[in-house]
Amino acid sequence: MKDLKKFLAILISTLLVLSMAGCSSPTDNKQPELPEETPAVEQTGMKPGKYTAAFRGYKSDVKVETEVDSEKIISVKVVEHKETDGIGTHAVDRLPKSIVDNQSVKVDTISGATTTSYAIINAVTDALKQSGADMKKFELGPSTPTPKDVTLDTDIVVIGAGAAGLSAALEARRNGAEVIVVEKMDITGGNTIRSSGAFNVAGHKLQIEADKGRKDVEDFIKFTMTGGHDMNDPDLVRYMIENSAGIVDWITEVGFEARIGETYQSFTVPGYAPGLIIGLQEYFEEQGGTVMLSTKATEIILKDGSAAGIIAEGADGGKVTINADAVIIAAGGYGANLDWIAELDPNLKGFVTNNHPGATGDGIVMAQAVGAAVRDLNEIQTHPTVHVPTATMMTEGCRNAGGILVNTSGKRFTNEVNYRDIVSEAILSQDQGFAYLIINQEIVDSNGNIQGYYDIGVLQKFDTIADLAKFMSVEENVLQETMDKWNKAVAEENDPEFESKFSWIRDLSVGPWYSVAVSPGIHHTMGGIVINTNAEVISTEGQVIPGLFACGEVTGGVHGGNRVGGNAILDCLVFGKTAGEKSASYVNK
């Protein structure tokens, strides 16, 4: 922990400026003045017109145009932004209407998209001040809605709208069931939408035809079991990997274009993780499914020992009862529940997390309350390369494509593409507990996610090794020697120091180069609800709980003591599809 505190002190100067204001009147950059012949407005009056302002969002400046008359806000429009699809875009689409409807800048932000929300709110506030508004009038919060209790009936209710929940819902709907999905956040996507969007596959025809990637299912099963320290449930691992090739065909069947990654071991869809989530939700709703946002499940209903629905809290605070013949728990893990994590593993106290704020373990708690068995709750994975000040995870694609990790002496110290827990331990063992990730332009160009890190100011760019060395506070000749050794190792496909694999790795001989200081952060929770290969929940007595299913990070056993990178979304898709199919069969029997 001392190392981590030193690391935080060193990095504090790199904190991003999260809000950057700029504004202009309808005609120029000066405060608008009333014509001499116009009577002075009262304190609460505004000069009618359109006013613009721009504040920093998560990835870009968010430029907002606000139109007012003398008394009220007429319209709010986001006219320019580059915020993340499926996250920031929810704030862009929904917050302007909320501001106009409530005639207030004191509106609720969109959970999961708070940075973009505040950029819009700040821009509207700035515009109102330009217009001469009395801000007290527009800083009254919206009236509190009267809670209303609601009762709904459906065949299947799904808790959680990440990749697992949406896959389950879509497949259940495709099998003829009426399905409602409840999501406690204001947006869908869970942890998936924050990921790179890549999922591992073994034995797909594209891999076999290209003679690249993981062609052998048995080899990948062994790799996954070894990565999980052989703590995994072997039946779940085999089921997931044997169905991995089929899941590529499934996502193609439901409307996606499956694309094989350059390493041939993983696949993505256009738009990466946001594209996957947006597509799954759209396909589900087009099939007649229902997604209820801002609806937090609190209890699973049991009748005569079988799942019979859920109780939830609605957006207005009212009680929502959903009667159903089957329940699918897909509420995600507990990687954002830092207090619980510290109890389970005191060594992780003080670590940052890159999980979305809704990953608090609710689904596990609800399942335990109805007798479900759980396992491996103390198995919590750190991702080795996290930019601590912003909790931004640097995707495995950086290292898989040839990025290296260098310590404060300017030297490599580990096999960068080893299992995550091993690389994390190696970084924490270095002086001050952090390292520098180094990549070049070719690697940035290979993956749209990596370009995004530069866009938000996390990655720093350097035209020379000398400038890079200065950024890292290391001797230029030492860093140059490290780079030369790496480039030679790649050329010869032989890394005598750390035995890295070279089937897809690039060298770093040509700049410009990019770097960021990284240290481990909480990334994935391997423990959770016990299930079988039908995604059925198992009780503490070892029996199936009728009508209760679970999938995704809320479950335990698939990943054992350490998750292999690229297996999380595969887990969500395979067991999500299975939960949807099996629950539909259950309610239709």
Residue spans of the domains in the chain: they are 18-135, 150-379+526-588, 382-521
Q: Which CATH number fits domain 150-379+526-588: 3.50.50.60, 3.30.1490.100, 3.30.390.30, 3.30.70.120?
A: 3.50.50.60
Instruction: Report the DSSP pairing between strands 156-159 and 326-329.
Output: parallel
317-331, 480-494, 495-509, 554-568: least confidently modelled range: 495-509
Q: Exposed e or buried b for every residue in 519-542, given b needs 16+ CB within 10 A?
A: bbbbbbbbbbbbbebbbbbbbeee
CA distance 552 to 561: 16
- In tens, the pLDDT along 33-50 reads 333 433 444 445 899 999
- Residue 340, classed as helix, strand or coil, is helix
- In tens, the pLDDT along 98-130 reads 999 999 999 999 988 999 999 999 999 999 999
- Residue 472, classed as helix, strand or coil, is helix
CA distance 537 to 554: 11
The pLDDT of residue 262 is: 63
**Which residues are 179's β-sheet partners?**
156
Average pLDDT of the chain is: 90
Which of the four pLDDT bands, split at 50, 70 and 90, describes residue 400?
A: confident
Among residues 371, 370, 365, the alpha carbon closest in space to that of 528 is found at 365
Which of the four pLDDT bands, split at 50, 70 and 90, describes residue 536?
A: very high
pLDDT at 13 over 90: no
462-471, 486-495, 527-536: least confidently modelled range: 486-495
Q: Which CATH number fits domain 382-521: 3.90.700.10, 3.40.250.10, 3.40.50.720, 3.30.70.2740?
A: 3.90.700.10
53-62, 337-346, 502-511: least confidently modelled range: 502-511
- In tens, the pLDDT along 433-454 reads 999 999 999 999 988 789 889 9
pLDDT at 143 over 90: no
The pLDDT of residue 152 is: 99
The pLDDT of residue 550 is: 99
Among residues 55, 62, 63, the alpha carbon closest in space to that of 17 is found at 55
When pLDDT is averaged across residues 250-273 and rounded to a whole number, the result is 85
Catalytic residue among 173, 214, 420, 563: 420
When pLDDT is averaged across residues 60-82 and rounded to a whole number, the result is 95
pLDDT at 19 over 70: no
Q: Please tell me the pTM assigned to this model.
A: 0.84
Instruction: Report the DSSP pairing between strands 319-323 and 306-313.
Output: antiparallel
420 is a catalytic site residue:
yes
Where would I find the H helices in 136-228?
163-174, 205-210, 217-227
512 prior amide bond cis, ω within 30? yes
Which of the four pLDDT bands, split at 50, 70 and 90, describes residue 251?
A: very high
Backbone angles phi, psi at 144, to 5 degrees: -75, 125
Q: Which fold has domain 18-135?
A: Sufe protein. Chain: A (3.90.1010)
Cα separation values, 497 from 109, 178, 489, 505, Å: 50, 57, 9, 16
CA distance 16 to 195: 21
What is 476-500 written as a DSSP string? Answer: HHHHHHHHHHHHHHHHHT--TTT--
Nearest 10 degrees: Cα torsion 159, 162, 164, 170? 80
